[in-house]
Amino acid sequence: MVIKIDMLRCFQAVANHGSLAAAATVLGRTPSAISMMLKQFEEHIGAPLFETARKARLTPLGALILTEAQRELGHFDRTIQAIEGLSQAKLGSVRLAVTPSVAQTVLPPVLQRFMQDHPKVRIDLRDMDSTAVADELIHDRADIGLASIASLPGFERQILFSDAFGVVCRADHPLSQNWHDLSWADLQGVDFIVNGLCAQISDEAFQPVLDAARLTVRNTASLLGLVQAGMGLTLLPRLAVLPGFNDLCFLPLRDTTVRRTVWMVTPPRQMVPPAVRAFAEVLRRLRINDRSSVDGSGTGIGKLSHMVKNMDAETSADADADADAGMR
């Protein structure tokens, strides 16, 4: 006969409560069922566990076995809790590979909501450019990628948001005074700083601006710092402008409709743990509006704080459609 967990639990209950009747009440079973299981346990061991039939006092062997039984039951219960926690997204980890602008402007409310609802799930967040995000996903170093990347074989992709490109310059730059009619021609002859996202713009009228530029900066924070210092202006998607640069302006361009699209990329739904699926669902409930045509003459970066984030439990019909089209 194999020693079963129920035998150990029965023995522990009788030892802790001092009688078959009390143990039966605690375990929700009859005293006769408790007595039979305890007898089977003693027969397997080949020695009595209690000194008397009343089960009030353990034998020396019974005391030793009780210590081991308690240790095993504790380990078993913790294992069951861990398994249930993992399956219900109460435990686990989520590895995120994201672009810096997404990390700083989009993720804070998502992380706050998720960590409140899943206090025991660990988050590993790393920011990098879009090429590196794709590499992390391909080499299984990330569970979710948020970036402007092409479709990857074996991965599912869903649009997270899209925002318009515009000129970013100091608030005192001459272009900020007549931004309503800003065009590519207005960027010729100015000090332009190239960045990695410029490669997403295919307008032919933009090419002369790129050809004339002498400075290229890949890091967004460094780029904005140089613009802030008066080294020139640049072109970025609206939500790529990081918080804290309130003395800069975002100026929409009149003659282009080019936009950046940020995707959520994940392995197929059946391949990811429940905690990762739960985080992806929070992202799907995110609603972002880049407010590219902000009313009024002021286009300060501070207006980015008005982007809409709707992550309420009451999802709309289009949110349901997004979920159906996503990782299912």
- Pairing of the two strands 144-147 and 93-98: parallel
- pLDDT tens digits for range 232-243: 999 999 888 877
Whether domain 5-87 has CATH 3.40.50.720: the reply is: no
Is residue 56 within 8 Å of residue 18, measured between CB atoms? yes
For residue 153, give the amino acid letter. Answer: P
Binned at pLDDT 50, 70 and 90, residue 227 comes out as: very high
Q: Burial code of 232-266, b = ≥16 C-beta within 10 A, e = fewer? A: bbbbbbbbbbbeebeebbbbbbeebeebbebbbbb
Mean pLDDT for the stretch of residues 75-92: 72
Structure tokens given for 219 = 């890091």
3-state secondary structure of 259: strand
- 301 burial via Cβ count (<10 Å: 0-12, 13-18, 19+): buried
Q: Where are the alpha helices (DSSP H) in 4-129?
A: 5-17, 20-27, 31-45, 60-87, 100-105, 107-117
CATH 1.10.10.10 range(s) for the chain read 5-87
Binned at pLDDT 50, 70 and 90, residue 303 comes out as: very low
Give the pLDDT confidence score for residue 87 in this predicted structure: 66
Is residue 193 within 8 Å of residue 233, measured between CB atoms? yes
CATH 3.40.190.10 range(s) for the chain read 93-161+260-290+306-325, 163-259
For residue 242, give the amino acid letter. Answer: L
Phi first, then psi: give them for residue 184, nearest 5 degrees. -60, -35
Is residue 251 within 8 Å of residue 190, measured between CB atoms? no
Is residue 265 within 8 Å of residue 152, measured between CB atoms? yes
Binned at pLDDT 50, 70 and 90, residue 302 comes out as: very low
Tell me the whole-structure pTM to 2 decimals: 0.63
- The neighbouring-strand residues paired with 159 are 263
Give the pLDDT confidence score for residue 251 in this predicted structure: 92
Class of domain 163-259: alpha beta
For residue 218, give the amino acid letter. Answer: R
- Closest Cα partner for 95 from 121, 123, 63? 123
CA 133 – CA 144 distance, rounded (Å): 9
Binned at pLDDT 50, 70 and 90, residue 313 comes out as: very low
- Closest Cα partner for 192 from 217, 221, 172? 217
Class of domain 93-161+260-290+306-325: alpha beta
Give the pLDDT confidence score for residue 312 in this predicted structure: 38
- pLDDT tens digits for range 27-37: 999 989 999 98
CA 136 – CA 185 distance, rounded (Å): 39
CA dihedral (165, 169, 173, 178) in degrees, to 10, reads 20
Binned at pLDDT 50, 70 and 90, residue 202 comes out as: confident
pLDDT score of 24 more than 80: yes
Is residue 148 within 8 Å of residue 260, measured between CB atoms? yes
- pLDDT tens digits for range 135-158: 999 999 999 999 999 899 999 999
Mean pLDDT for the stretch of residues 153-169: 92
3-state secondary structure of 147: strand
Percentage of the chain lying above the pLDDT 90 cut: 42
- Pairing of the two strands 215-216 and 193-194: parallel
Q: Where are the alpha helices (DSSP H) in 246-296?
A: 274-284
Is residue 94 within 8 Å of residue 279, measured between CB atoms? yes
Give the pLDDT confidence score for residue 294 in this predicted structure: 31
- pLDDT tens digits for range 263-281: 999 998 778 888 999 999 8
- pLDDT tens digits for range 102-134: 998 889 989 998 999 999 899 999 999 899 999
- pLDDT tens digits for range 284-298: 887 765 544 333 233
Give, as one character, the DSSP assignment of residue 244. T
